[in-house]
Amino acid sequence: MVLVNQEAPDFSEKAVVDGQVVDGFKLSDQRGKYVVLFFYPLDFTFVCPTELHAFQEKLEEFKKRNVEVIGVSTDSWFSHLAWLNTPKNQGGIEGVTYPLVSDFNKSISKSYDVLFEGLGAAYRGLFLIDKNGVVQHQVVNNLPLGRSVGEALRMVDALQFTEEHGEVCPADWKAGDKAMKPTDSGLKEYFAD
């Protein structure tokens, strides 16, 4: 299912925020900010802690861009807490500070179409949601394929540039690169350099 250009499915579930279990954590409470909502398969696994730490390492870069990072898995909030209290050198995610949502009933994973039914866990889905709650970018990886946090930041930069300047971002565009006007003459001008 393609969610791009559609309102992001809202949810209200338990989450671990700042080391505390919060009832009724809602995606819609983030309106006015950009959101990188990412799904990962399971706590206490192998690729997952590398991704969660990678998001944490770039968290200040996301915050500078008015972006909230939110992780989701089908594990319980108890499992999230235990994993957050496990040191990194023991496979844990101690030090991760952004919210981790418990999709224990699997409704969020289903609404974003990332649920691996046979496993009962989510694929590695990532959704960039704008300030109005509309999905602007989505990508889904299979379980063994870790995602690029740098690419998520690049997509945030591209979205914000486009919103601010009304220009479009060509292939492999990075902040500071030349963009183009979305016209025939804009394309020709882009290729003229």
Contact 43/75 with Cβ under 8 angstroms? yes
Q: List Cα–Cα distances, 162 to 89, 97, 117, 156, in angstroms.
A: 40, 29, 37, 10
Catalytic residues: 48
Tokens representing 28?
Answer: 């819609």
Tokens representing 193?
Answer: 């350099």
Cα–Cα distance, 42 to 172 (Å, whole number): 31
Amino acid at 55: F
Q: Is 138 helix (H, G, I), strand (E, B) or coil?
A: strand
Q: List Cα–Cα distances, 36 to 87, 151, 179, in angstroms.
A: 25, 12, 23
The closest alpha carbon to 114, from 139, 146, 77, belongs to 139
Q: How many helices (H) and strands (E) does the chain have?
A: 6, 9
